Structure 1
Amino acid sequence: MTLLQFLLILRARYKVAALTFLVTVAATLFISLLLPKQYTATSSVVIDVRSPDPVAGMIMPGLATPAYMATQVDIITSDRVAQRVVKLLRMDESPAIREQWMDAMEGEGDLTTWLADLLKQKLEVRPSRESNVINIEFSGVEPGFVATVANAFAQAYIDVHLELKVTPARQSATWFEDQTKMVREKLEKAQTALSAFQQKSGIIATDERLDHETAKLNELSTRLTNVQAETSDSSSKRKSAGNSETLVEVMQSPMINMLKSDIARLEAKHHESNINLGVNHPQTKRTETELASLRRRLASETRQISESISTSYEVGKQKEKELLEAMESQKKRILELNKERDEIAVLKRDVEAAQHTFEGVSQRSAQTRLESLSAQTNIAILNPATMPTKHSRPRILLNVLISIFLGTLLGIAIAFMLELGSRRVRSSEDLIQAIDLPVLAVISSRPPQKIPKQLGPVAG
């Protein structure tokens, strides 16, 4: 269809199109004037996604995601929030509303759920595109009621959001309290086992006692070394006891040296007496007697020194044996202390692990307890709803403009439907399409024009 055909059809059917247009506009205007006036109240809430949590002290990464705002919109439009609005406004306690419910539902279902569904039908939630503000709109025929319900939805949303935050914290707090009791019992058992073992073994400071016992072992080892050296020296001297005069003790003994000096002096005197007085002289005999006495004393002193060396060797051997036994006993004691220290170290590690676990669980329990008692939320009412003074529906001007557009389209559509139902030839294109033959001439439907007199035929 060409534009010329379209215009020709409209010119032929303009009365039907105009009538349809006028009827549509008039009906829209009439219905808009008859519809009851609807009022809309808006309450705005702002969500703070930047401030840290007052208990945890950190910003939750999920708060800044687009899905978080969509979740908040779903919470506002949820049945839980709507039912809380019913409870806040005490709508379920109104006898008139209960009577309406009985008439509508015949007592079936739940009144609170029925009212919540009715409220949700007139609720509209619109989040801002470039901010964290959510607008809660509620429409109705009473200006005061719609403002009250809009504010109630904002408050109910804050309450439900706080419950959704606190309820898991309360459950966690209860669980952590049970865990705290369990880890406290484990800690007490570990401490009791450590104390019992310390009392049984008599060990208080294992490291200090072990150091003391180790020092005693070192002291015994030093003493054993000294005794072994003395015993070895005594053994050497004992082997050379056949020639006592060569012993150092004999050679360095003042008594023996004095006796040797006296013997030498008496021997010289005896030799002189033998020469001058004779062998049988009393003085010579006396000198011999003194000399024999001195030699006996020298032999006795030398023998005593040799015997003292043997005694020292025997005593050294005995001391060496005793020190070896003492060292073996001390080594066993140290090994027992090491074993006890290892057992105490294990028990101490058990106590430390239980203490660490108890502190961690106690800290987390305290934190969840604070979270369960929290009355703060990151949502605040930005602009409370006020009673509207102008109705929001019906929008007469908008409805008229829409009816003009729709009436125009409807009039054109009806004109074309009528044309298609009774097709007419209105142009040469229509004739060509109808008979599929070329058009030789077109006779105009306009009346012929009169020829001016001055342009008439010239006489021959």
Structure 2
Amino acid sequence: MPVLSFYDWIDAIRYRWKLVAFATGVLLVLSLLYILVAPRTYTATSSLLLDTGAPDPLSDDKAGGSAPDNRQIVATQADLVRSPHVAGQAALISGVAKEAEYQAKWRKETDEKQPYAAWISDEMRKSLTVEPGRDTNVLLIQAKARNPQDAAKIANGFARASVDSQYKLRTEPAKAYATWLENSLQTARTDVVKKQDELAAFTKATGIVNNGDLTSEGNAMADVSTQLATAEARAAAARQSAFEGAQGRGDAEKSEGIQRLRASVAEKSAQLSQLESVFGPEYPDVKKTRAELGTLQSQLNSQVSQTAGALSSARGAEAAAERAAAAASEARLRNLAAQQRARVAGQSNNLAQFQRLQNEFAAAQKTFNDLNTRLTRMRLQSAVPLTGVQVLDTATAPIVPSSPNVPLTLALATMLGALLGAAGAIWLEYRDPRVRSRGGIERLLGAPVVGRIALPVGQRTIANRDGDGPLLLEGQAA
């Protein structure tokens, strides 16, 4: 048996083209019969837009943070759409769960042993296909059904159920957290009031003011110490003071009565000197004037003595009073200094406990404020209709069924028929090989063809199976 080459197979297929055409025709007829009898399946498509870049109005993150991974978000949303919960909600939203056709199918398949909600959820998921868009945040939801209206309702039901589920996933935990925060906030409020009462009672009992600042107490202590030093100096000076007679006599000389008497004595002395110079010492008027001068001098000395004694007594009493007042002031200020020193020491001992109570109150107040802020945010989050997912396109009832695919089926039938016909032609050629062309002769004999003989039309080409022996060429018209 000669070894056939690729070109021999091509020649064989061309020679048996009727076989290839027959196989292709048979497959096309079968595909047409399949298209006619196969049940129709319609596919409807809706789409969701995942708005991952939208700012959250309840977020305090002003820096923006790292950008979310869109692929993970799209994949997570796709799993959410495929979940049994969303499928059950989609059946209710689309109205499929209430259709008698599905209820009858459920009774037939499960004999009512499986809950209808679980069965319809599985049935909805069987018809679902979720595909993310290429390099986009769009999620395509495809639903297949025997009826085009059902396909559109199922696709739209899944889209709406996905948005509703996303909203519930955002708001339901926020509502539950808000309830917990309300209870915690009440406890925190009670704790704040308790700590505040304890701090107020301690402050009232100890007299701590200005948040435990001892600066004012220190300033008061310094003022008392300064006043005490001044009083001590004053008392020392009062104790050391002494009033002498010369001082009393000098003060007495300054009195008005003494001045008048001294002026009279001076006047009499001048008058006496004048009379003595004129009349002599023995003259009666001179003696009389001398006697008057002696009387005035005696009165002056007596007045000076009395006034000096009175002033000395008054000054002594005044000095004694000054010493007593200075001593009393010193004692009072010393007592105040001791009390202030004891007060500062006591405040220092109570300051640690005051700061502890103040820190506990501040911590309780901070906890209350934080809980109140979180509660406000959770209440807003449970009320704000923010999901980050929205329906982009709604599905409409398709006109052309997606299954069977007529163009694809016919193309596959044509291709498969051609392949089967070609395989059959090759198999027949393998069973009974023939030389069908000039190139085949050259490949078989290993020599070039140098001539061509014209034979009568219809003459067959004959060659034995071993490739040697007599050879007749196919006839051609002259």
Normalising by structure 1, what TM-score? 0.74
In structure 1, which of residues 74, 80, 97 is the aligned counterpart of residue 79 of structure 2?
74
Matches within 5 A, 1:16-415: 17-56=20-59, 65-89=70-94, 91-92=96-97, 97-201=102-206, 206=210, 217=221, 220-238=224-242, 244-245=244-245, 251=250, 295=305, 298=308, 301-302=311-312, 305-306=315-316, 308-309=318-319, 312-336=322-346, 344=354, 346-415=356-425
Identity %: 23
Distance 1:411 1:186, change over 3 A: farther
Contact 2:251/2:308, CA 8 A, preserved across alignment: no
Distance 1:309 1:33, change over 3 A: same
Amino acid at match of 1:377: T
CA distance in 2, matches of 1:319, 1:69: 89
Could you tell me which amino acid in structure 2 is paired with residue 232 of structure 1? A
Distance of aligned partners of 1:258 and 1:350 in 2 relative to their CA distance in 1, 3 Å threshold? farther
Gap change, CA 1:61 and 1:295, over 3 Å in 2: closer
Question: Does the residue aligned with 1:446 lie in a helix, a strand or coil?
Answer: coil
Could you tell me which residue of structure 2 aligns to residue 458 of structure 1?
none
1:445 matched to 2:448: no
* Alpha-carbon distance, 1:142 to partner: 1.7
**Counterparts of 1:20 and 1:448 in 2: how far apart (Å)?**
30
Q: CA 1:212–1:27 in 2, change beyond 3 Å: closer, same or farther?
A: closer
Please state how far the C-alpha of 1:419 moved relative to its aligned partner. Answer: 5.8
Asked if the contact 1:250/1:305 (under 8 Å) is kept, the reply is no
Unaligned runs of 5+ in 1: 433-438, 453-460
Determine if contact 2:212/2:355 at 8 Å carries over to the other structure: no
Deviation at 1:400, TM superposition (A): 1.0
CA offset at residue 365 of structure 1? 0.9
Deviation of 1:146 after TM superposition, in Å, equals 1.9
Alpha carbons 1:206, 1:337 under 8 Å: kept: no
Using the TM superposition, give the Cα deviation of residue 362 of structure 1 relative to its aligned residue in structure 2, in angstroms: 0.7
- Residue-by-residue CA offset, 1:295-334 (whole Å, 9 max, x unaligned): 4764574466456545534542343233212222133334
SS at match of 1:46: strand
- The number of residues matched between the two structures is 432
Q: Cα offset for 1:371?
A: 1.3
**Aligned CA distance change for structure 1 residues 135 and 399 (closer, same or farther; 3 Å):** same
**d(CA) in 2 for partners of 1:86 and 1:43?**
16
Q: Check 1:286–1:88 CA distance in 2 against 1; reply closer, same or farther (3 A cut).
A: closer
Separation of aligned partners in 2, 1:125 and 1:449? 65
What's the secondary structure of 1:52's corresponding residue? Answer: coil
Measure the CA separation in 2 of the matches of 1:324 and 1:230.
14
Alpha-carbon distance between aligned partners in 2 of 1:234 and 1:320, rounded to the nearest angstrom: 12
TM-score (norm 2): 0.71
Quote the RMSD (CA, aligned, Å): 4.6
* Shift, 1:369, TM fit: 1.8
SS at 2:241's partner residue?
Answer: helix
